[in-house]
Every structure is written in C-alpha cells, then in structure tokens.
Amino acid sequence: MKQIQRRSWAEPFKIKSVEPLRMTTREEREQTIKEAGYNTFLLRSRDVYIDLLTDSGTNAMSDFQWAGMMLGDEAYAGSENYYNLEKAVQEFYGYKHLVPTHQGRGAENLISQILIKKGDYVPGNMYFTTTRLHQELAGGNFVDVIIDEAHDPQNTFPFKGNVDLQKYENLIKKVGAEKIAYITIGATVNMAGGQPISMENLRAVFQLSQKNKIKVVFDATRAMENAFFIKKREKGYENKTIKEILLEMCSYSDAATMSGKKDLLVNIGGFLAINDDAIFEEARNMVVIYEGLHTYGGLAGRDMEAMARGIQEACQLDHLQARIGQVEYVGNRLLELGIPIVTPIGGHAIFLDAKKFYPQLEQLKFPAQTLAAELYLDSGIRAMERGIVSAGRNKETGDHYYPKLELVRLTFPRRVYTQAHCDVTVESVYEVWQNRESVKGLKMIYEPKYLRFFQARFEKL
Ligand code: F0G
C-alpha cells in the first residue's frame, strides 16, 4: 500500500523583510515590451511582476549575512573580511589561493588572459556566454565536448552535464595537448538546462587531463547545487555531506572561477581560486589592473563578508532541498500540463522548449526571444532567452550559431519567491502555451557586437 505522507514540505526560513510587487495591465505591458525592443533585459524592473530573468545577484540574504554586512572592514588593503572569505574558500572549496573579483566574468577574464595563447583551444562542457567570450578575446577557440544527450531536451540521462571523454580525447589527438590551454568544466551546466556533471565524470576528466598535462578550470558557479544532485543521484554519495562532495568535486581541478551571485546567496561578488603558486602570483598581480587590489578585487569589505557567510549557508542540505525543490515543483506542474520543458528538471531553472511551442517559426524568427516576450505580455513575468540570440555568431565566419537548444529560462532566485508565485507562473506559462498557434515571431533590428542577447532589439513580425 502506498504510504501516506503526513507532512507537507515547507521552506526552511521565515520572512523578516518584504518588498512590494507591482502589477501592470496588459496595455501597459504592450507598451513597455515594445519600448524594450522585445528584449526582457531592456525592461525596467519596476515594470516586472515576478522576475525570473536570472538567479544571479537576485537572492535574498539571511539575517546572518546582513549582520555580517555591518562588520565590513572597508580598508583599501588587508580587510579582515578578505581573510574570512579566504578561510571559507579554503575550507569549503579546498583551493589554496584566493583572488576576489567583482563577479564571475572578472575571474574568467584573469584566467583566460593568463593561460590562453593566441590560437589555443579551450574545450568545455557546453559554452557559457561570458566564459567563451573571454576565451575568444584572449585568442582561444572554444570546443564543445559535452555529451550528445545534453543537446536533446527530452533525453532524461541524470548527468547531462558530463564531458564526452571520447570527444575530449579526439581533440587532444587532433590538435595536440600543448595547443590546449585548459579545459573548462561547468557544474549544473547552465546552457544545457542546469544539468549536473557526475563525480565519476569529473574524476575521469581530471585523470585524462593530468595524463596530458592539461589544466582543469572548474566553473564552480553552481557547484553546491551540483553537489546536491550527486548526493541524490550518484551511487556512493547518498550519505556524504554537501561539503564533502563539494571538496571532492573541486579536488579534480587546478583552479576555479566563481560567480558568487548564484550559489553563494549574495547580490554581488566572485572569485578566482587557484592551487598553483605561479599562476596565483600572476593573477594577484593582474587583478590590480582590472578589479582592484588583491585583497578586495572590486568588492567592498561587507560584500566579501556576506559571501563568506553565504558559503556556509549555501551548503546546508535543507537550503538546497528547498531551493532545488521549488524548481522541481514548478517543473512537475508544467509537465503535468503537457508543456514541453527540458528534462530532467534542472537545478536553478525551468527551461521551456521554444521549438516545441512554436514549430511554425524557423530559428531566425527567434522562437525563444518571442516566447519570453509573450510570457511577459501575458502576466508581467520576466524570463530569459537561451537560444540563437544568446549563442551569438561564429567569430571566424560571422554567421549565427544555430544551437540545437532554443530555450526560455524561468530562473528562480534563491529564497525570494513563494509557492503561490510559482503557481501564478505555471498558470501564465499554460496560458501562453494555449495561445501558441497565432504567434508570428520577431525580427532583429539592432545587434551589438559582444554578448548580443543583453542589448539586441527586435520588432514584431
Ligand atoms: N558561469 C556561469 C555558469 C554563469 O551562469 C555565469 C553567469 C557566469 C559564469 C558569469 O558570472 O555573471 O557573475 O559575471 N550567469 C548569469 C545567468 C548571468 O543569468 O545565468 P557573472
């Protein structure tokens, strides 16, 4: 007999401070999204009802973190908060050296410039927008070595973030290990739908890299959330703590870039963490040019303190369970309604399959961009395009990349929205799904040179 669950699940926190939300009318939204060139990045936040644009820097801090903000040691050099952060990074991530940066891309810039020579190759488990751009600006060529399953929204493999070792080995054979600057390994791979990488795969990638003297740079941005999936899905890890799993994950890399704005429950902050003394020396010197002195890297003392405290909270199991549980709740409700999303449900977001919403639109009519605009028009909910606009252009040929995945991301900030907000979101997505047949797509009328998805403008066809 099926066991009856006697208790519902609930968030492991209560709310101490609130921020009012503003609802708009459909007429108002028609005006605001038109003015924003049908790009949700160009909307004013005051015109948004539920903001699912990103989980980056949008998290709610705890009272413990806010209390830490008051202990900011705002010294130009040698702030106490830097040492607190260094200690937390060493304890939880296990790397030897810390270089703080204002956010993730600051760290990506440093490591790309230090390790990449013109014409080098940089393999990775799917591209991330800023990561690949910094690699290219440093003269590198990104090569996708993620498993094929990752490009298929319906494939339910539990570790769709894994590296295809054969693809990686083929690249080493083809170009030679000395032409590979390093391999970037992302956790809960963002562009694949928040899909985790397994410990077994991390270990194998590291072994193959070491054998060929290739460095592994870990994008630890959502590594805590990846550790949670390893605990839930990988044999042998059920009884390990998130902290133990995270330490083992990081042990299979030489350095990490980190956007603290995600996992670490802060609004700003990031770092580069490194084991090698010589690379650290260089990064510590270079950070002074781009970010600030090596003991603050573009952050205020209080920001470093909030991040140091965030590290401790982020790896608590009840937090991760609630965070990933919320995303799962939305995903399961959408699946019940027959709405096409990327499966398995990812860690930080639900990814709507825009190709399935709008089979009538070819990719150059921007199905995902269109879907994000339609969702906003319906309810004021803001999502993000993750399809052909985000993919950008091939820097050699100048042609668009045509990614297999044409997705809209509903990204959940941590500890911000309630289950009722989730229900409203599901209802709005359902409404947009029901009205899918009449949709005609968009035309791009302005395209910036770098990371075009942030600022491109469109018109309705
Ligand atoms: N790596 C990953 C996997 C990311 O998701 C991001 C940011 C970065 C690096 C760059 O970090 O923004 O602090 O400079 N992702 C955000 C997002 C923008 O919405 O997914 P950053």
CATH of the domain at 204: 3.40.640.10
- Test site for ligand 1: of 128, 146, 259, most ligand atoms within 8 A of the Cβ: 259
Catalytic residue among 76, 401, 446, 454: 76
Q: Which residue has the least CA distance to atom 19 on ligand 1?
A: 54
Coil, strand, or helix at residue 194?
A: coil
Cα separation, 429 vs 372, whole angstroms: 10
Residue 193 lies in a domain: yes
135 lines ligand 1 (CB under 6 A): no
Residue 17 lies in a domain: no
Residue 153, phi then psi, degrees to nearest 5? -60, -30
Residue 16 lies in a domain: no
Element (DSSP H or E) covering residue 282: helix 277-290
Please report the pLDDT score of residue 121 as a whole number.
Answer: 98
C-alpha torsion angle, residues 415, 86, 109, 250 (rounded to 10): -80
Together in a domain, 246 and 362:
no
Beta strands in 58-125 (DSSP E): 97-101, 121-124
- What's the gap in Å between 260 CA and the centre of ligand 1? 9
Q: Which residues contact 1 (CB under 8 A, 6 or more apart)?
A: none
Together in a domain, 257 and 123:
yes
Cα separation, 80 vs 14, whole angstroms: 30
259 lines ligand 1 (CB under 6 A): yes
Catalytic residue among 160, 222, 386, 409: 386
Q: Which residue has the least CA distance to atom 2 on ligand 1?
A: 221
- Annotated active-site residue 51? The verdict is no
- What's the gap in Å between 396 CA and the centre of ligand 1? 25
Chain mean position to CA 125: 13
- Annotated active-site residue 128? The verdict is yes
Sign for the pseudo-dihedral over CA of 450, 455, 459, 461: positive
Please report the pLDDT score of residue 7 as a whole number.
Answer: 76
Q: At 248, which amino acid appears?
A: E
Residue 96 lies in a domain: yes
Residue 221 lies in a domain: yes
- Test site for ligand 1: of 128, 146, 217, most ligand atoms within 8 A of the Cβ: 128
Residue indicated by tokens 């490009």: 151
Coil, strand, or helix at residue 112?
A: helix
Together in a domain, 43 and 111:
no
| Number of Cβ within a 10 Å radius of residue 240 | 17
186 lines ligand 1 (CB under 6 A): yes
C-alpha torsion angle, residues 271, 276, 279, 283 (rounded to 10): 20
Q: Which atom of ligand 1 is nearest to the CA of 54?
A: 19
- DSSP β-ladder status, 141-144 and 121-124: parallel
343 lines ligand 1 (CB under 6 A): no
Together in a domain, 104 and 170:
yes
Please report the pLDDT score of residue 4 as a whole number.
Answer: 65
Tens-digit pLDDT string for the chain (461 aa): 556 667 777 899 999 999 999 999 999 999 999 999 999 999 999 999 999 999 999 999 999 999 999 999 999 999 999 999 999 999 999 999 999 999 999 999 999 999 999 999 999 999 999 999 999 999 999 999 999 999 999 999 999 999 999 999 999 999 999 999 999 999 999 999 999 999 999 999 999 999 999 999 999 999 999 999 999 999 999 999 999 999 999 999 999 999 999 999 999 999 999 999 999 999 999 999 999 999 999 999 999 999 999 999 999 999 999 999 999 999 999 999 999 999 999 999 999 999 999 999 999 999 999 999 999 999 999 999 999 999 999 988 999 999 999 999 999 999 999 999 999 999 999 999 999 999 999 999 999 999 999 999 999 99
Q: At 74, which amino acid appears?
A: E
Packing angle, helices 199-211 and 165-175, rounded to 10? 20
State the residue range of the domain holding 362.
26-55+317-460
Cis peptide bond prior to 344, omega within 30° of 0: yes
Residue indicated by tokens 């709008």: 358
- 298, 314, 330 — which closes off a domain? 314
**Is the Cβ–Cβ distance between 215 and 254 less than 8 Å?**
yes
310 lines ligand 1 (CB under 6 A): no
Together in a domain, 50 and 70:
no
- Annotated active-site residue 386? The verdict is yes
In degrees, to the nearest 5, what angle opens at C-alpha 167 toward C-alphas 206 and 133?
Answer: 80
Q: Which residues contact 166 (CB under 8 A, 6 or more apart)?
A: none
Tokens found for residue 161? 């973030």
Catalytic residue among 128, 271, 296, 458: 128
Following DSSP, what letter does each residue of 329-368 receive, concatenated? HHHHHHHHTT--B-SS--SSEEEEEHHHH-TTS-GGG-HH
- Annotated active-site residue 55? The verdict is no
- Test site for ligand 1: of 40, 55, 56, 127, most ligand atoms within 8 A of the Cβ: 56
Q: Which residues pair with 100 in a beta bridge?
A: 271
Together in a domain, 335 and 284:
no
Nearest to 256 by CA among 107, 114, 56, 125: 107
- DSSP β-ladder status, 97-101 and 255-259: unpaired
Together in a domain, 50 and 139:
no
- Annotated active-site residue 73? The verdict is no
- 264, 293, 314 — which closes off a domain? 314
Rg (CA), the chain: 21
37 lines ligand 1 (CB under 6 A): no
Instruction: Report how far apart, in Å, the C-alpha atoms of 41 and of each of 23, 293, 353 are.
Output: 18, 31, 20
In degrees, to the nearest 5, what angle opens at C-alpha 276 toward C-alphas 180 and 143?
Answer: 20
Cα separation, 110 vs 106, whole angstroms: 7
Residue 456 lies in a domain: yes
- What's the gap in Å between 131 CA and the centre of ligand 1? 8
Q: Which residues pair with 121 in a beta bridge?
A: 141, 180
- What's the gap in Å between 205 CA and the centre of ligand 1? 23
